[in-house]
């Protein structure tokens, strides 16, 4: 009895009772229609047949309906797929009714065939119609919904846009009303969906915004290119209309299930003007499944995202190594508590220590190593060249050599575009790291070595984006080094997926893979976009100030040096940088020895300039500096 009081079971009992009445009504009407033209009504024998069989028919059909799962879903949530299920259930129930009456003959009189046909039609109409009526009643606009409210224009009339509109219609307490769609599909132009008209294409956004004057625009196309988002955002900002965007499937899965709450503000990465990279880590990272994978710098922006994506392909063990205790603790807690991935081990270690790294490699015996540990901040590295060289170059050699000694199958270095024609200590140290990996690829054929080079990633520890955000939050000014300065940008998840893909291609001879970053973005345009996305106007609300480029800082970053040729690979958005003149392994060894001497000497006064000069000519120029030590 207590079980029947539960809302779920109480609702099912009501549904069964309602269907029983509807089935009995359909059966009665079938007889009524069959003998409608009879002057004296039903023949007596059929009155007896109806009285004897109605309970049997109702019970039998309800059993079939239950077997088809018709009572496992509330009527208010019925959908098109449910109507197909209802049709099959009614058809099977009617067919069984015919068989029983014709073969078993449980009653003295047989059931007229016309009654069987009419009963099937009426049962289908009543059972399906009752559910549809309940849904229409539940979803009908309330009186309050007809009052002027927060009006929303939805961009995208596909499944995403319809989900947004349906959520708004089902939840009047949200205080928002959808007023129409925008969609670039010419076939949808002028059509109505969920009662709303497709008003035009996104190219007509200015006219439609002026005509409809919405309070908000929702971009319901998660895969919309940055150019489209940028055009919509610009038109809305001119009219002081708020803009939000529908998240991707991954963001929905990470969040709750109430779609309206998952709508987020347009982010800066949405308007970079580049097609997003399709997330398909299950395919590109399949080679990591059931393998032991080690990630150095696991607590950093790139390293932590590597851990997140690698965990999705179910490695046998994920070893997360970092020198920063707090960062390592954070990613460890995220893996275990938030992502419920227990096959991971956190190791506090320094890649610069050969004995400790060899101990880690021998203990876990990883199959694949992603070396993401590095210093990234250019000004800090200029001020601390000793640590830049020690952490970016020497630590790479230590990690690569201990990996080869432990028979690691693949070794992937995370590099940077600043390693191309380096003019800073940070760039020079990363260039040296690339050459160390190239030399290791020749020296240790048992391990497949590769480097992956790319530009700025949004919101990483070395990116300008978090700096701009903090400056905007403080009310400005936003500082840009030069009005013509450009940089390549990519989101962290995009870059990491391509890094993982790069680990599975190539011959393993220390090749350098370069990610296709799209077109470079002017930093001043990025600053203006971020100010507008925050709801302000550049120069009016928040000032943009230009400073001077820092020593060695380039106006335009490049991804390939003059001595490299670009070769495509089988992987989309990944190219190969091939040196026109092969790197000299002996030169790498002697240059690295010279660097170690400079570090041991501890003379930071002139170290930065000398390091750049030392690495600028990978053709034997190291001997001069080495001899001066």
- Beta bridge partners, 216, equal 152, 242
Q: How far apart are CA 388 and CA 377, in angstroms?
A: 10
Q: What is the DSSP letter of 512?
A: E
Q: How far apart are CA 245 and CA 221, in angstroms?
A: 8
Helices (H), 474-578: 492-502, 523-533
Q: Which of 61, 352, 376, 418 is catalytic?
A: 418
The answer to whether 418 is a known catalytic residue is yes
Q: E strand or H helix at 551, and its extent?
A: none
Q: How far apart are CA 613 and CA 592, in angstroms?
A: 13
Q: Closest Cα to residue 613, out of 582, 591, 597, 596?
A: 591
For the residues of 147-200, what is the DSSP string, one character each?
Answer: S--EEEEEE--SHHHHHHHHHHHH-GGG-EEEEEEE-S-GGGTT-EETTEEEEE
- Beta bridge partners, 224, equal none
Q: How far apart are CA 448 and CA 440, in angstroms?
A: 9
Go through 240-257 and write b for each residue having 16 or more CB atoms within 10 A of its CB, e for each that does not. ebbbbbbbeeeeeeeeee
CA distances from 309 to 329, 517, 584 (A): 18, 20, 35
Q: How far apart are CA 452 and CA 387, in angstroms?
A: 22
Q: What's the length of the chain?
A: 629
Q: How far apart are CA 271 and CA 262, in angstroms?
A: 19
Helices and strands (DSSP H and E) totals, the chain: 23, 22
Q: How far apart are CA 616 and CA 423, in angstroms?
A: 8
Q: Do 480 and 528 form a contact (C-beta atoms < 8 A)?
A: no
For helices 585-601 and 425-443, give the axis angle rounded to 10 degrees.
Answer: 140
A 10 A CB-CB count for 611 gives 26
Q: How far apart are CA 81 and CA 78, in angstroms?
A: 8
Q: What is the DSSP letter of 351?
A: T
Beta strand 574-579 with 564-568 is: antiparallel
For the residues of 559-589, what is the DSSP string, one character each?
Answer: SS-TTEEEEE-SSTTEEEEEESSPPPHHHHH
Beta strand 176-182 with 344-348 is: unpaired
Tell me the three state secondary structure of residue 264. strand
What are the residue numbers of the active site? 418
């Amino acid at each position: 009895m207590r079980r029947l009081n539960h809302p779920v079971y109480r609702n099912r009992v009501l549904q069964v009772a309602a269907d029983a009445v509807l089935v009995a009504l359909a059966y009665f009407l079938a007889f009524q229609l069959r003998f409608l033209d009879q002057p004296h009504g039903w023949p007596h024998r059929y009155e007896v047949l109806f009285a004897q069989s109605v309970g049997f028919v109702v019970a039998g059909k309800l059993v079939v309906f239950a077997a088809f799962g018709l009572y496992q879903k509330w009527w208010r949530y019925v959908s098109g797929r449910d109507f197909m299920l209802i049709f099959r259930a009614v058809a099977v129930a009617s067919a069984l009714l015919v068989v029983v009456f014709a073969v078993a003959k449980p009653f003295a009189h047989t059931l007229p065939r016309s009654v069987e046909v009419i009963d099937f039609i009426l049962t289908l109409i009543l059972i399906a119609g009752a559910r549809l009526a309940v849904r229409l009643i539940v979803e009908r606009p309330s009186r309050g919904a007809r009052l002027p409210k927060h009006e929303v224009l939805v961009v995208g009339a596909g499944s995403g846009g319809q989900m947004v509109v349906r959520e708004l219609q089902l939840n009047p307490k949200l205080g928002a009303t959808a007023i129409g769609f925008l969609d670039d599909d010419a076939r949808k132009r002028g059509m109505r969906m969920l009662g709303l008209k497709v008003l035009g294409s996104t190219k007509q956004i200015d006219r439609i915004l002026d005509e409809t004057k919405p309070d908000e625009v929702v971009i319901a196309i998660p895969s919309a290119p940055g150019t489209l988002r940028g055009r919509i955002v610009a038109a809305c900002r001119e009219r002081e209309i708020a803009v939000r965007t529908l998240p991707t499937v991954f963001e929905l899965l990470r969040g709750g299930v109430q779609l309206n709450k998952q709508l987020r503000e347009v982010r800066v990465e949405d308007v970079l003007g580049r097609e997003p990279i399709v997330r398909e880590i299950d395919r590109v990272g399949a080679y990591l499944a059931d393998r032991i994978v080690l990630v150095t710098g696991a607590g950093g922006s790139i390293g932590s995202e590597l851990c997140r994506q690698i965990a999705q392909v179910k490695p046998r063990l994920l070893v997360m190594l970092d020198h920063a205790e707090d960062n390592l603790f954070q990613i460890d807690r995220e893996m275990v508590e938030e992502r419920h991935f227990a096959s991971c081990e956190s190791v506090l270690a320094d890649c610069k220590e050969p004995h400790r790294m060899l101990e880690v490699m021998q203990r876990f015996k990883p199959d694949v190593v992603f070396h993401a540990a590095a210093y990234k901040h250019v000004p800090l590295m200029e001020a601390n060249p000793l640590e830049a060289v020690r952490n970016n170059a020497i630590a790479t050699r230590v990690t690569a050599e201990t990996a080869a000694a432990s028979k690691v199958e693949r070794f992937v270095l995370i590099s940077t575009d600043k390693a191309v024609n380096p003019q800073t200590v940070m760039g020079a140290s990363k260039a040296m790291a690339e050459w160390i990996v190239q030399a290791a690829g020749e020296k240790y054929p048992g391990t497949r070595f590769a480097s992956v080079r790319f530009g700025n990633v949004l919101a990483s520890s070395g990116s300008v984006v978090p700096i701009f955000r903090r400056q905007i939050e403080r009310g400005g000014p936003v500082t840009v080094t030069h009005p013509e300065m450009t940089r390549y940008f990519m989101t962290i998840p995009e870059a990491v997926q391509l890094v993982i893909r790069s680990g599975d291609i190539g011959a393993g001879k220390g090749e350098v893979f370069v990610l296709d970053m799209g077109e470079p973005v002017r930093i001043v345009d990025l600053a203006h976009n971020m100010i507008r996305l925050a709801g302000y106007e550049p120069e009016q609300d928040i000032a943009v100030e230009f400073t001077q480029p820092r020593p060695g800082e380039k106006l335009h970053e490049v991804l390939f040096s003059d001595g490299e040729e670009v070769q495509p690979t089988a992987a989309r958005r990944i190219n190969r940088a091939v040196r026109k003149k092969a790197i000299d392994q002996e030169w790498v060894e002697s240059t690295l020895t010279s660097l170690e001497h400079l570090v041991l000497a501890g003379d930071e006064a002139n170290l930065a300039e000398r390091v750049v000069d030392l690495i600028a000519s990978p053709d034997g120029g190291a001997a001069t500096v080495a001899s001066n030590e």
